[in-house]
Structure 1
Amino acid sequence: MKKAGILNRHLSGALAELGHGDGVLVCDAGMPIPAGPRVVDLAFRAGVPSFAEVLDGLLAELVVEGATAAEEIRTANPSVAALLTDALPDLDLVSHEKLKELSAGARLVVRTGEARPYANVLLRCGVFF
């Protein structure tokens, strides 16, 4: 049994399968999930687990070379916007509609229980060397 890191076996296994350039959409409970990507649904109740908790756990285990979020987050959800810009300094912002289009190309979707708007980010995996 793992003693640290992500303990959810479905999420841990899905992360181990990712490679350079693969997309991981971390999303709130309301984001439309596209057909195609593998989905690990962590949502339990409204707000549980939070977007921040899940993002923090993922960033501790993944090499991220880029990230994209919806520009609407700046006005609709400033606290998550601040979280993303602090954690991902090179964050790209696009329209929410464009983010939904881009998410169709993700390899993995991690759905949180987050119940605040626009708490979504598409991470692009990098390499550790």
Structure 2
Amino acid sequence: MDLGGGSITRADLLGMLQGLHCAWEMGIRKAILQTDSKTTIQLLESAATTHPHFTVVSELRQLLQKDWHVRIEHVREGNAVADYLASIGHSRSLGVHIFLQPSSMLNYWLLFDQLWFAYVDKIKNS
């Protein structure tokens, strides 16, 4: 998907929208949508209708109201999987790329994130 110009918030919203569309089309009915952007979450929870990204926010809200359960979570910086996917995105052609099986490198970053977040949770709960 070519985002053209725009802000990080717009890119985050469009990524959420595309990801949720893909999940719905694949028959996924329970999902966790994570973002490190508090601004994005605030926009989704806000009733504001004059924000420049209102059209995308409105589309996301409609999608979230379908017959499924999507939990939206704020995650702190340190999402290595997202960073890795963003870095390889620069070398791919424009369009949506769906990975049915994670590569060995993606598996590495998935494990890294699992261990990192388990460690952070352990410290928070100590």
Mark the structure with the bigger radius of gyration.
Answer: 2
Q: Which structure is richer in relative contact order (CA contacts within 8 A, separation 6 or more)?
A: 1
Q: Which has the higher helix share?
A: 2
- Relative to the length of structure 1, the TM-score reads 0.26
User: Which has a greater percent of strand?
Assistant: 1
**TM (normalized to structure 2)?**
0.26
